[in-house]
Structure 1
Amino acid sequence: MEIRQLKTFINIVKLGNFSQAAQFLGYTQSTVTTHIQLLEKELNTLLFERFGQQITLTEDGQRLYDYAERIVKLEEDAKNVLNRSSIPRGPLIIGMPESLCVYRMPALLKEYTSLYPDVELNLKFGTASDFRALLRKNVMDIAILLEQSVSDSELDSTFLWPEPIVLIASPEHALAKSDSVEPMDLSNQIFVLSEASSNYRLAFEKILEKANVRAKTILEVGQIQAIKQLVLQNLGLSVLPLVAVHKELVTGELVALPWRGPEMQINAYLVKHKGKWVNYPMRAFIKLVGERLIR
């Protein structure tokens, strides 16, 4: 029985299936399956009952889960006791939106990995709702959220900076020469937007809904670079964080429309679970963010 097998087992239980655990741990699904098969063979029992795509713990699986959590926690405690150095080392799992990782954080991440080479930094992309769930399940240490505000009794949050959102278009778009753009001007337009759970998309759609404005078509695209390329080709309008399109606005490849509707701004917050023990890697990251990024 290996610690990594137990960690795989714990993550399957917390995340609900083999594929999500594999994706989160950075394993292939076959590796995750092998870990469980080896555990089941060694313990001579079944740990999961499988009903199609759904899995549930067997009675023995539930017993093992209680022990597995204690064993993994003891391993972490032993490392902390035996390594009394305050030099950060070990795993650190951080969740953040793609736009922040690509356009805000590279310099800080480079500095952090240079200062603390013994930290195993693991970055996860996703949405705020994904990160909240992972923080509650204690499979993520820290997350950076883009939200208008954070009000969650289970989470500690620190305001980092305001993140302006802009309405962008190709210079060839019919609205590109407008002196002002209001919600009603967007009626029957085509939009190229990020995933439906994106907070800045949600804020924008609320503005349109309140003004009773209907889009002609919404193209949902998961990657910011792909969104920008589609807008560059004049396939539609989009709303993105200003930092993600700053270069294209400067070069004139894209234009920021003169928005006169309700303000589209969200904020960046550093978030952790209130019950999470702040270890040395977390403490060093939070400190560096405070020194470099908090405004």
Structure 2
Amino acid sequence: MEIRQLKTFINIVKLGNFSHAAQFSGYTQSTITTHIQLLEKELNTLLFERFGQQISLTDDGQHLYDYAEKIIKLEDDAKNALNKSDIPCGPLIIGIPESLCVFRMTSLLKEYSSLYPDVELKIKYGTSNDFRILLRKKVMDLALFLEPSIIDPDLTNTPLWPEPIVFVTYPNNELTKLTELHPKMLNDQTLVLVESDSNYRILLEKTLQKEGVHLKTVLEVGQIQAIKQLIMQNFGITLLPLVSVAKELDAGELVLLPWKGPDINVTAFLVHHKDRWVNHPMKAFVKLLQERLINNHA
């Protein structure tokens, strides 16, 4: 019985299926399956009941899960107690929204990996709601949220900097002639937006609903780069973090619209579960973030 097999087993239980566990851990699905098969062979029992794509723990699987969590915690405790070095090493899993990862943190992540080569750094894209689940399941160490505020009592958060959110469109759009863009002016417009659980999209939709605005089309696209390409091809307008469109605005490929509706701005927060022990890799990341990014926005 190997620690990595137990970690795979725990991830499958917490994430709900083999494919999600494989994607999260960076293994192939065949490797995940092999880990479980070896556990089942060694223990001479079935750990999961399989119903098509659905799985559930057997009684023996539940018993093993209880032991596995204790074993993994003991492993972490032993490492923390015996590791006298302050040099960060081991796994570090961080959730970062695409706009922050690609347009703010690329250099920082590269520097972190260079400074601490013994840290197994894994970056996961997603939204705050995705990260909440993973932080609470203790399968993610740190996350950056983009939200107006955070009120979760089980999550420790540190405000980092305000993240301006802006409307942009292609240069020939008739809306570029306006000196002010009010919510009702979006009637019958085509919007290209990020995922529905993005906080700045939620703020926009609440405003439009309150104002009784009817959009012509809403196209949901999962990647910011794809959204920008669509807008630059005269597809409509979009709402994105300013940092993610700054290059195109400077080049004249996109045009900023003068929004005069309620604020849609959010703040970047650094978040971890309140019961999560802050280890050396986490401390090193927070320190570097403080030095490179937070101070620049002070």
1:56 matched to 2:50: no
Q: 1:110: which partner in 2?
A: 110
C-alpha distance in 2 between matches for 1:246 and 1:219:
22
Q: Which amino acid aligns with 1:60?
A: D
TM-score under structure 2 normalisation? 0.97
Alpha-carbon distance, 1:27 to partner? 1.5
Q: 1:218: which partner in 2?
A: 218
Where in structure 1 do 4 or more consecutive aligned residues deviate above 6 Å? none
Alpha-carbon distance, 1:233 to partner? 0.5
Q: 1:19: which partner in 2?
A: 19
TM-score under structure 1 normalisation? 0.98
Output one character per residue of 1:151-183: Cα deviation in whole Å (capped at 9) or x when no partner. Answer: 110001000000000001000111122121111
Give the aligned CA root-mean-square deviation in angstroms.
Answer: 1.0
Alpha-carbon distance, 1:286 to partner? 1.1
1:233 matched to 2:233: yes
Structure 2 counterpart SS, 1:93:
strand
Output one character per residue of 1:181-216: Cα deviation in whole Å (capped at 9) or x when no partner. Answer: 111110011111001111111111111111110111
Alpha-carbon distance, 1:74 to partner? 2.3
Q: 1:93: which partner in 2?
A: 93
Q: 2:283: which partner in 1?
A: 283
> What is the aligned-residue identity percentage?
68
Alpha-carbon distance, 1:52 to partner? 2.1
C-alpha distance in 2 between matches for 1:51 and 1:110:
43
Output one character per residue of 1:62-107: Cα deviation in whole Å (capped at 9) or x when no partner. Answer: 1111111122222223333332101111110000101100001112
Structure 1 counterpart SS, 2:140:
coil
1:186 matched to 2:183: no
C-alpha distance in 1 between matches for 2:39 and 2:170:
56
Aligned length in residues: 295
C-alpha distance in 2 between matches for 1:69 and 1:146:
31
C-alpha distance in 2 between matches for 1:137 and 1:218:
33
**Correspondence list, 1:68-147, <5 A:** 68-147=68-147
Q: Please list every run of 5 or more consecutive structure 1 residues that lacks an aligned counterpart in the other structure.
A: none
Q: Which amino acid aligns with 2:139?
A: V
Structure 1 counterpart SS, 2:262:
coil
Structure 1 counterpart SS, 2:282:
helix
Alpha-carbon distance, 1:284 to partner? 1.0
Alpha-carbon distance, 1:116 to partner? 1.3
C-alpha distance in 1 between matches for 2:135 and 2:47:
25
Q: Which amino acid aligns with 1:187?
A: N
C-alpha distance in 2 between matches for 1:135 and 1:74:
20
Q: 1:199: which partner in 2?
A: 199
1:44 matched to 2:44: yes
Output one character per residue of 1:29-80: Cα deviation in whole Å (capped at 9) or x when no partner. Answer: 2221111111111111000111222211111101111111122222223333
**Correspondence list, 1:258-273, <5 A:** 258-273=258-273
Q: Please list every run of 5 or more consecutive structure 2 residues that lacks an aligned counterpart in the other structure.
A: none
